[in-house]
Structure 1
Amino acid sequence: MTLIDDALLAARLVTDAAQLAAHMRTEGLEVARKTSVSDVVTDADHAAEKLVVETLTTHRPADGLLGEEGAARDGTSGRRWVIDPVDGTYNFASGSDYWCSAIALTQDDVAVLGAVAHHATGTVWVGGPDLPTTANGEPIGDREDLGLAHLSVASYLHPSGIAHDHVREPFLRAASGAATLRMLGSGSMDLVGVATGRIGAWFQHSTPAWDWLPGAAIVAGAGCSAVQLELGGLLWSAAGPPSATRELTARLTGELPA
């Protein structure tokens, strides 16, 4: 079993999950609230995760599992698949096409592979630190290294975070250095956008593993940087061309003021 074998399996998993979720949306969704009105889950999330878990149980029985909707299994191989069956569920449930299915493979807790399927365009991106990122099997090439001032930056900030200095101030420092700010609602789609150049750079705090690892691996496969740092009791994640990522982290920590 090689990394290419895992990449082919990952592409199949996210494609199948996205197809199932999209089909279920056309039939009508059952939507439930998780932690807030904007944090929702649908029956399609659960069904797509179940499909991925069943396939991995058959084809990679020694590997561990971690899914956003509750799947969890300790493996014996040192490897773990991190599953986001529908990333951007609020968008998905609202009828937007800015959502995807995503998965990452980790070895000893380090991401070695990510795959993201965008059903609306029929595009599947796969990549990792040692696997150049492809879109539907075609290499996308490395990003040009540009500074933050030349780039858009995507992020997410829950409205409640505005009231807290340890959230608001780093966020404003980072965002103020970019050409423009975008909030689009799917971390994995945003990170794919960083890899392809559709989005300049990205940062966010308290990003769950399933929202970070698939896209971070794909970003790395496109010659970009993906880093995390502890600040004020929060874990911040940042990604982009190397120069922009260095500036984002410097702004987050206050080395560069707003």
Structure 2
Amino acid sequence: MDDAELATRLVTEAGALAAAMRRGGLGAETKTNVSDIVTAADRAAEAQVVEILRRVRPDDSIVGEEGADHAGTSARTWVIDPIDGTYNFHRGLDWWCSAVALVDGERLVLSAVHHPTSGTTFLGGPGLPSTRDGVRLPALTDRPLSESCATTYLHPPFYDGEVGAAFVRAVTGVATLRMMGSGTMDAMALAQGHSDVIFQHSVPDWDRLPGAAIIRGVGGESRVVSAAGVEWHVAGVPTAVAEVCSALLGE
């Protein structure tokens, strides 16, 4: 089984497990705030992914949102997010997914994302044209920020201060704005041409890399920029990405 096949298996099986557990009813625990939660499905799906990886890729490292941290002997690392959009998942909304990304040293290799509600699976990377259920996605159409649909999220405590000011500078230039609660699913919408740019600060690798790989596989860009004392992930069509980065920096 090659890496692309393995990544696809990991996310489809993790998503199926999570969806089945949700149908049976789930409680949730708060992590850092009322919207940052974890469920038994998050932990069970991550454990399943880890078990498979330890068996079929024993030399690779593993990093997961729910605490998986295995140091392998190769330069490769699997970054896993069993449920991206846990708040949506727990509240019965459909905008959530299971995602994995593979990096080799500093190089982003590929990612796979599965949306259980629709049964749709995405696969792609910088050197692997992105696909939806095996069908190649068309290249993104570049456009300026003023014509772009942006997706983002900003926790209410950050509306004030320098971070809030940087956020306002960026969103002021967009055509329209959406906040839907799953950064990776937002990236999948972008990869299909439904939106144009995504940006958010303090995004961990498991929330950033799966979407970045798929976006780069359709000709988009993904950057990390330091502004207002935090790191912002910005991805999407090249012109809009460049304009968001400049706005965040106050240029």
Q: Aligned ranges for residues 16-95 of structure 1 at < 5 Å?
A: 16-95=13-92
Could you tell me whether the CA contact under 8 Å between 1:80 and 1:109 is conserved in 2?
no
Which residue pairs with 1:11 in the alignment? 8
Larger CA deviation: 225-234 vs 120-129: 225-234
- Structure 1 residue 107 corresponds to structure 2 residue 104: yes
Q: Aligned ranges for residues 1-258 of structure 1 at < 5 Å?
A: 5-163=2-160, 165-255=161-251
- CA-to-partner distance for each residue in 1:55-93, whole Å, 9 max, x for gaps? 000111000000000000111110000000000000000
Could you tell me whether the CA contact under 8 Å between 2:163 and 2:229 is conserved in 1?
no
- Structure 1 residue 193, shift from structure 2 partner: 1.3
- Once residues 151 and 105 of structure 2 are traced to their aligned partners in structure 1, the CA distance between those partners, rounded to angstroms, is 29
SS of residue matched to 1:144? coil
- Once residues 127 and 102 of structure 2 are traced to their aligned partners in structure 1, the CA distance between those partners, rounded to angstroms, is 13
- Structure 1 residue 151, shift from structure 2 partner: 1.3
- Once residues 190 and 33 of structure 1 are traced to their aligned partners in structure 2, the CA distance between those partners, rounded to angstroms, is 23
Could you tell me whether the CA contact under 8 Å between 2:166 and 2:228 is conserved in 1?
no
- Once residues 81 and 153 of structure 1 are traced to their aligned partners in structure 2, the CA distance between those partners, rounded to angstroms, is 28
- Once residues 223 and 207 of structure 2 are traced to their aligned partners in structure 1, the CA distance between those partners, rounded to angstroms, is 14
Could you tell me whether the CA contact under 8 Å between 1:100 and 1:119 is conserved in 2?
yes
- Structure 1 residue 199, shift from structure 2 partner: 1.7
Q: Which amino acid aligns with 2:165?
A: E
- Once residues 67 and 37 of structure 2 are traced to their aligned partners in structure 1, the CA distance between those partners, rounded to angstroms, is 14
- Structure 1 residue 233, shift from structure 2 partner: 2.2
Q: Which amino acid aligns with 2:222?
A: A
- Structure 1 residue 150, shift from structure 2 partner: 1.0
Larger CA deviation: 232-241 vs 53-62: 232-241
Give ranges in structure 2 of 5+ residues lacking alignment: none
TM-score by length of 2: 0.98
TM-score by length of 1: 0.96
How many residues were matched structurally? 251
- Once residues 132 and 4 of structure 2 are traced to their aligned partners in structure 1, the CA distance between those partners, rounded to angstroms, is 12
SS of residue matched to 2:78? strand
What percent identity do the matched residue pairs reach?
51
- Once residues 138 and 177 of structure 2 are traced to their aligned partners in structure 1, the CA distance between those partners, rounded to angstroms, is 25
- Structure 1 residue 179, shift from structure 2 partner: 0.6
Q: Which amino acid aligns with 1:247?
A: E
- Structure 1 residue 109, shift from structure 2 partner: 3.0
- Once residues 185 and 84 of structure 1 are traced to their aligned partners in structure 2, the CA distance between those partners, rounded to angstroms, is 14
- Once residues 51 and 157 of structure 2 are traced to their aligned partners in structure 1, the CA distance between those partners, rounded to angstroms, is 37
SS of residue matched to 2:203? coil
Could you tell me whether the CA contact under 8 Å between 1:132 and 1:141 is conserved in 2?
no
Q: Which amino acid aligns with 1:235?
A: E
Q: Which amino acid aligns with 1:53?
A: V
Could you tell me whether the CA contact under 8 Å between 2:151 and 2:195 is conserved in 1?
yes
